[in-house]
Amino acid sequence: MNVRKLKKIIEVAGGKSPADLVIRNCRIVDPISQTVSEGSIGVYDGFIIGIGDYEGKRVVDGEGCFAVAGLIDSHVHIESSMCTPEAYGSLVVPMGTTCVIADPHEICNVRGVSGLRFMMNSSERTPLKVKFMIPSCVPATEFEDSGAVLDSEKIEELIGEPKILGLGEMMNSTGVINCNEEVLEKITSAINKSKIIDGHGPMLKGKSLNAYRVSGVLTDHECSTPEEVRDRLKRGMYVLLREGSAARNLANLLEAVNDGNSRRCAMCSDDKHPEDIIANGHINHNLKIAVREGVNVFSAIAMATINAAECYKLKNTGLIAPGYMADIVLFKDLKDFEAKMVFINGEPVAKDGKALFPLVNRVDKAVTHSVNIKPVTSSDLKIPLKKDMVRVIGLDKYSLNTVLQKRKVKIVQGCFEVSPEADIKKLFVIERHNATGKIGKALIENYGIRNGAIGTTIAHDSHNIIVSGDNDRDILAAIRELENAGGGITLVKDGTVIETLSLPIGGIMSDMDAFSVSKKMERMKKTAHEELNVSTDVDPFMTLSFLALPVIPSLKVTPRGLFDVDKFDFVPMEWEE
């Protein structure tokens, strides 16, 4: 900024010079004063210079739409869309999302700093404003086998970069509470540079939650009950209300939100597949749910805009007011939140659901060829058991949490055998970064798969191969297909590969556009439910991908074995008396 430029801005705001853009005939929504006013918006040099009767070099008819500040996703793993940031921008910007707070811990678990650089470089090629949190837990815990490690020294080196807002979700809450030295080094790096620290504290309460909060953690997106929301709000935290593909928590959590506490709430998607976004929407879908559930529309809009901006210290962002960035969405109504037009920095970037900017996907060799496994044979897929009473991973409907179940199973020649009478199937996690040969084995209930196998190289957060099925032939075929494809998602039935979505970027992202990925995913999901009998209570792929994450309760599996999250330790499959 200089005096000459500032003088020009003031002159335009004062009506002495024409604005670059004027959006006329719109209803301007102010979530702070909780008013809607008819008028025009003047834009100059990417900023809103005023609301009123302005002359402009360009004039856009708002057609009576509701003008709202650009929507902000306060916590997202872009990689979960299986798209690059460029392709992701083309998908969500037309829905009204103009900014996302991205935690790239998926690609960083596979490729470390090279993965982070890929995401940053890719984000420069989309108008979507992508802000980054440096992943705090790569790997998520010491009990995992990731492709890379981001230790405290590396975080200290990176966290000061301008595009990095802070430290990503601190999943190792146990490490925080027990004052693990390495964990605290990461946190102090963020504190000393006045950076935000994101949380991840499912089921924390009481003094444990107090200890977690005073470490510097500001946010939490892992609430699954209204009481958890209240507990965090009482402690001065921001609660990021999540509506993802596997974790659909929003409607339930809104019970805890009222006009008094809503300013400490923001909206997020966390992990959402492209077909889900196309069918239902992005943050505009969160708004639709909130209003449907009876939340004050102004409070809902604040949660999707200014609240997130204030939480993450996004300067001049989140309101339609003089001096704020001209990130503007024109919604047809405040019920369905269908975007008519979207502007970023005062430039039109989407109209009638279509992006107005080109998609150029570029793939860096540093993030490809990521599947490296020791050969797996059918004998590796046997699950030896000495007792027939075992621990089983029970799936919970539309939740990332699992239930530790005690079940009696069939044993043949000393090994588990799938019984047609019980919905208990095999689950394996195979280390795929360094060909160590590690294979974690578990049993899963309520997945429903029959006469086949489903495998993927998306397995949060270390992204090893995870595969489930009811017979060894199909499980082995799925593993080999994923190796040959260089990563992806595959469906196998009766010894034959039905279909595979190739994910060459780190084994977690496609080089196709979001709509092509979505079309294929929709077809594969339909096949999984109809031909492989996967339960309609779960997402066949998203649910599977979270069963290897040992920081979300209660029972998970890594390449090292079965992990009890509540005990925070490995446990045998056989149930001890």
Q: Output the pLDDT for position 16.
A: 95
Residue 266 lies in a domain: yes
Residue 311 lies in a domain: no
Q: Output the pLDDT for position 361.
A: 85
Largest CA distance in the chain: 89
DSSP annotation of 155 reads H
Last residue of a domain, one of 363, 379, 407: 363
Q: Output the pLDDT for position 1.
A: 84
Task: Please indicate, yes or no, whether residues 374 and 497 belong to a single structural domain of this protein.
Answer: yes
Beta bridge partners of residue 61, listed in sequence order? 24
Residue 440 lies in a domain: yes
Task: Please indicate, yes or no, whether residues 264 and 372 belong to a single structural domain of this protein.
Answer: no
Q: In the block, which residue shows the tokens 């037309």? A: 94
Task: Please indicate, yes or no, whether residues 273 and 375 belong to a single structural domain of this protein.
Answer: no
SS3 539: coil
* Residue 474 one-letter amino acid: D
Long-range pairs, 24-28, Cβ under 8 A, ≥24: 24/59, 24/60, 24/61, 24/62, 25/61, 25/62, 25/63, 25/64, 26/62, 26/63, 26/64, 26/65, 26/66, 26/67, 26/330, 27/62, 27/64, 27/65, 27/66, 27/67, 28/66, 28/67, 28/320
Task: Please indicate, yes or no, whether residues 543 and 436 belong to a single structural domain of this protein.
Answer: yes
- Tell me the two tokens of residue 255: 């019970």
**Residues near 116 by Cβ (< 8 Å), separated by ≥ 6?**
104, 107, 108, 132, 134, 135, 158
Task: Please indicate, yes or no, whether residues 245 and 381 belong to a single structural domain of this protein.
Answer: no
Residue 439 lies in a domain: yes
- In the predicted model, what is the mean pLDDT of residues 243-267? 94
Q: Give the structural domain span for 249.
A: 77-282+358-363
Task: Please indicate, yes or no, whether residues 142 and 249 belong to a single structural domain of this protein.
Answer: yes
**Residues near 94 by Cβ (< 8 Å), separated by ≥ 6?**
339, 342, 350, 351, 353, 354, 355
Task: Please indicate, yes or no, whether residues 181 and 87 belong to a single structural domain of this protein.
Answer: yes
Is the pLDDT reported for residue 256 higher than 90? yes
Query: Given phi > 0 = left and psi -120 to 50 = alpha, else beta, which region is 149?
Result: beta
Q: Output the pLDDT for position 466.
A: 99
Task: Please indicate, yes or no, whether residues 116 and 245 belong to a single structural domain of this protein.
Answer: yes
CB 507 within 8 A of CB 516: no
**319-329: pLDDT as tens digits:** 999 999 999 99
C-alpha dihedral, 400 to 401 to 404 to 409, nearest 10°? -20
> Measured between alpha carbons, how far is 158 from 201 in angstroms, rounded to an integer?
24
- In the predicted model, what is the mean pLDDT of residues 446-470? 97
Residue 345 lies in a domain: no
For residue 141, what pLDDT band results from cuts at 50, 70 and 90? confident
CB 452 within 8 A of CB 531: yes
Task: Please indicate, yes or no, whether residues 274 and 372 belong to a single structural domain of this protein.
Answer: no
Q: Output the pLDDT for position 100.
A: 99
Residue 143: CATH number of its domain: 3.20.20.140
Residue 19 lies in a domain: no
Q: Output the pLDDT for position 535.
A: 95
Backbone angles phi, psi at 96, to 5 degrees: 110, 0
Q: Which parts of 23-97 fold into alpha helices (H)?
A: 85-92
Q: Output the pLDDT for position 336.
A: 98
Last residue of a domain, one of 338, 363, 388: 363
DSSP annotation of 269 reads -
Q: Output the pLDDT for position 563.
A: 97
Q: How high does pLDDT run on average in the chain?
A: 96
Task: Please indicate, yes or no, whether residues 260 and 401 belong to a single structural domain of this protein.
Answer: no
**540-566: pLDDT as tens digits:** 998 999 999 998 899 999 999 999 999
Residue 440, CA distances (Å) to 19, 69, 558, 563, 570 in order? 62, 47, 5, 10, 11
> Measured between alpha carbons, how far is 439 from 445 in angstroms, rounded to an integer?
20
Is the pLDDT reported for residue 384 higher than 90? yes
- In the predicted model, what is the mean pLDDT of residues 451-476? 98
> Measured between alpha carbons, how far is 265 from 257 in angstroms, rounded to an integer?
8
Structural domains in the chain (count): 2
Is the pLDDT reported for residue 577 higher than 80? no
Q: Output the pLDDT for position 375.
A: 97
Angle ∠(80,398,418) on CA atoms, nearest 5:
95
For residue 363, what pLDDT band results from cuts at 50, 70 and 90? confident
Last residue of a domain, one of 305, 335, 363: 363
**83-96: pLDDT as tens digits:** 999 999 999 999 99
**105-131: pLDDT as tens digits:** 999 999 999 999 999 999 999 999 999
Q: Output the pLDDT for position 362.
A: 86
Is the pLDDT reported for residue 453 higher than 80? yes
Q: What percent of the chain shows pLDDT beyond 70?
A: 100
**Residues near 10 by Cβ (< 8 Å), separated by ≥ 6?**
none
SS3 7: helix
Task: Please indicate, yes or no, whether residues 275 and 378 belong to a single structural domain of this protein.
Answer: no
**420-439: pLDDT as tens digits:** 889 999 999 999 999 999 99
Q: Output the pLDDT for position 517.
A: 95
Q: Output the pLDDT for position 400.
A: 82
- Tell me the two tokens of residue 214: 């005073």
Q: Which parts of 486-577 fold into alpha helices (H)?
A: 514-530, 542-545
Is the pLDDT reported for residue 398 higher than 80? no
Query: Given phi > 0 = left and psi -120 to 50 = alpha, else beta, which region is 14?
Result: alpha
Task: Please indicate, yes or no, whether residues 384 and 274 belong to a single structural domain of this protein.
Answer: no
For residue 142, what pLDDT band results from cuts at 50, 70 and 90? confident
Residue 464 lies in a domain: yes
CB 320 within 8 A of CB 42: no
Residue 577 lies in a domain: no
Residue-wise DSSP of 79-105 = GGGTS-HHHHHHHHGGGTEEEEEE--H
**482-516: pLDDT as tens digits:** 999 999 999 999 999 999 999 999 999 999 999 99
Q: Output the pLDDT for position 156.
A: 98
Residue with the larger pLDDT of the pair 140 and 282: 282
Q: Output the pLDDT for position 397.
A: 84
